[in-house]
Amino acid sequence: MPSFDFRTVPHIHVGAGSAARLARLAAPLIGDRRRIFLVTDPGVRAAGLTDAAVAALEAAGLSVSIFDQVVADPPEAVVLAAEDAARAFGAELIIGFGGGSSMDCAKLVAMLCGSSQSLAAMYGVNNATGPRLPLILIPTTAGTGSEVTPISVVTVGESSKMGVNSPALYGDLAVLDAELTYGLPRATTAATGIDAMVHAIEAYTTRLQKNPVSDALALAGLKKLHGAIERACTDGRDTEAREDMLLGALLAGQAFANAPVGAVHALAYPLGGVFHVPHGLSNSLMLPPVLRFNAPAAEPFYGELASHLGLHASTQGLVEEMERIAASVGIETRLSQVGVSHNDLPRLAEEAMLVTRLLVNNPREMTLDDAHACYEAVL
């Protein structure tokens, strides 16, 4: 067996209602720290999702400051504004509370406030070295797996996405509370859930760092997500389904944090950057054409994934099931439905080819013409 490394967060807690017990759960990490800086977005705060956690922290005698200006695909300006607010408050511990964007932003705030590095110096792989402030991550969607990944994605300029990928970004504690996802809209539940399934699929077929541990996590995560996504979309307060979605997303996140994703994500990024299509939906749109493109190189792996889900053991079996799920949960399946026209495809393909850090992981080498064809297949 070739040598490999595997890393993940040191402490994971799963349990409905956990947010209300946050002060007790995090007590060893909090220690004598008294100034807690919570990073979230306006929708999460307005929905009252942060209330129980904040109340628990304040009841324990802690001072909490909330930064709630995170937006999807956060631009550099938002990250730097959060850093400024955290420094002004004298933050001693950072909490990322929300979807992937809030958690990504929180990771960077913890790094920026704990070290002398600039944000620009952190972009790339292993360039963020720390130290950082203690970090707790609490997801309110079941998709990105950001609570257990060492990755943050930032929008630079008008539409380009830059990644910070370093073990220093792993949090200290991840808390999964199914009750925080009860109010997640059906469309968001569907898109983020398929996003997590993409993480599992791409981790299992990654070219450079595929390993037995990430494989086991990808299979387990995909199985949980597959069994829960339609139930969670049908009944948003199905606690078992919601918990399985969160756990499936976490397992898939652990997998792709160590066995990186490939062309599905590379082609999805320009859809988010240029057309502001939500990340999960972008991945869902690009999954079928990329799977078909990769089939000559990845057919055995796709067959194993399909068989694991009780499907016909083939790429076609896996693709048809993912297309069935997208139709069942009612999300868009064509680029034209999200405002993309034929004239946009050359730009999308060109921008996708710039995401070399992901394309290098794809099981089959992809050219500019191949990327264009994948977009065209789902126009």
Q: What's the confidence (pLDDT) of residue 345? A: 97
160 has pLDDT over 80: no
163 has pLDDT over 90: no
pLDDT, tens digit, 9 for 90 and up, residues 303-332 = 999 999 999 999 999 999 999 999 999 999
DSSP letters of 103-154?
A: HHHHHHHHHHHHSS--HHHH-EES--------EEEEESSSS--GGG-SEEEE
> What average pLDDT score do residues 71-77 get?
91
Strand partners, 95: 38, 136
Residue 127 to residue 149: CA distance in whole angstroms:
16
Q: Extract the tokens encoding 307.
A: 């068989």
pTM for the model stands at: 0.95
DSSP annotation of 179 reads: G
Q: Are 223 and 310 in contact (CB under 8 A)?
A: no
Q: Which of 157-161, 263-267, 268-272 is predicted most confidently?
A: 263-267
- Three-state DSSP state, 237: coil
What's at 133, amino acid-wise? L
Residue 142 to residue 176: CA distance in whole angstroms:
9
pLDDT, tens digit, 9 for 90 and up, residues 26-40 = 999 999 999 999 999
Place 157 in a pLDDT band, splitting at 50, 70 and 90. confident
Which is more confidently placed, 278 or 176?
A: 176
| Mean pLDDT, the chain, integer | 96
Task: Encode burial over 19-32: b for 16+ CB neighbours within 10 A, e otherwise.
Answer: bbbbbebbeebbee
Domains located in the chain, CATH noted: 12-180 (3.40.50.1970), 194-377 (1.20.1090.10)
Q: Extract the tokens encoding 340.
A: 């993309």
Residue 323 to residue 344: CA distance in whole angstroms:
24
DSSP annotation of 39 reads: E
Per DSSP, helices labelled H in the chain are 22-25, 27-30, 42-46, 51-59, 76-89, 100-114, 119-122, 186-205, 212-234, 239-258, 263-275, 279-308, 315-329, 345-352, 356-359, 368-377
pLDDT, tens digit, 9 for 90 and up, residues 96-105 = 999 999 999 9
